[in-house]
A = this chain, B = another copy of it.
Amino acid sequence: MTSRRRHLLVAALACAMAGVGTDGHAADPLPSWNEGAAKQSIVAFVGKVTQEGAPGFVPPAERIATFDNDGTLWAEQPMYFQLLFALDRVKALAPQHPEWNTKEPFASLLKGDVKGSLAGGERALAEIMMATHTGMTTEEFEKVVKDWVADAKHPETGRPFTGMVYQPMLELLAYLRANGFKTFIVSGGGVEFMRPWTEKVYGVPPEQVIGSSGKLKYELRDGRPVLVKLPELNFFDDKEGKPVGIQQHIGRRPLAAFGNSDGDLQMLQWTAAGSGPRLCLYVHHDDAAREWAYDRRSPVGRLDKGLDEARDRGWTVVSMKDDWKLIHPDGKR
Residues of chain A at the chain B interface (Cβ within 8 Å):
61, 64, 138, 182, 191-192, 195, 199, 205-209, 213, 216-218, 220, 224-225, 227, 234, 240-241, 243-244, 247-252, 266, 269-270, 273
Q: Name 26 interchain pairs, CB-CB below 8 A, sorted by A.
A: A61-B205, A138-B247, A191-B248, A191-B251, A192-B251, A195-B251, A205-B252, A206-B250, A206-B252, A207-B208, A209-B251, A213-B248, A216-B247, A216-B248, A217-B244, A218-B240, A218-B241, A218-B243, A218-B266, A218-B270, A220-B269, A225-B266, A225-B270, A227-B244, A227-B247, A249-B249
Give CA–CA (A290, B269) in the complex, Å. 50
**Which of A61, A191, A227, A270 has its CB near the most chain B CB atoms (within 10 A)?**
A227
Give CA–CA (A243, B218) in the complex, Å. 7
Distance in angstroms from A146 CB to nearest chain B CB is: 13
Give CA–CA (A191, B249) in the complex, Å. 9
Give CA–CA (A3, B53) in the complex, Å. 34
Which residue on B lies nearest to A243, using beta carbons? B218
Partner of A225, one of B182, B191, B249, B269: B269
With A207-B252, A209-B251, A252-B207 known as contacts, the answer to whether A244 contacts B273 (CB < 8 A) is: no
**Across-interface contacts of A192 in B (CB, < 8 A):** 251
Distance in angstroms from A30 CB to nearest chain B CB is: 25
| Cβ A251 vs Cβ B218 within 8 A | no
Give CA–CA (A51, B155) in the complex, Å. 45
Partner of A206, one of B191, B195, B227, B251: B251
Give CA–CA (A233, B138) in the complex, Å. 24
| Cβ B61 vs Cβ A225 within 8 A | no
| Cβ A207 vs Cβ B269 within 8 A | no
Give CA–CA (A71, B98) in the complex, Å. 53
Which residue on B lies nearest to A210, using beta carbons? B249
Give CA–CA (A191, B240) in the complex, Å. 20
Partner of A218, one of B64, B213, B218, B244: B244
Distance in angstroms from A22 CB to nearest chain B CB is: 30
**Which of A207, A216, A250, A252 has its CB near the most chain B CB atoms (within 10 A)?**
A207
Give CA–CA (A41, B177) in the complex, Å. 35
**Which of A205, A208, A243, A247 has its CB near the most chain B CB atoms (within 10 A)?**
A247
Other CB < 8 Å A-B pairs besides A61-B199, A218-B266, A225-B269, 15 of them?
A138-B247, A191-B248, A191-B251, A206-B250, A206-B251, A207-B249, A216-B247, A216-B248, A217-B240, A217-B244, A218-B244, A220-B269, A224-B273, A225-B243, A225-B266
Which residue on B lies nearest to A216, using beta carbons? B244
Which residue on B lies nearest to A206, using beta carbons? B251
| Cβ B138 vs Cβ A225 within 8 A | no
Distance in angstroms from A240 CB to nearest chain B CB is: 4
Which residue on B lies nearest to A213, using beta carbons? B248
**Which of A192, A248, A269, A270 has its CB near the most chain B CB atoms (within 10 A)?**
A248
Distance in angstroms from A230 CB to nearest chain B CB is: 10
**Across-interface contacts of A240 in B (CB, < 8 A):** 217-218
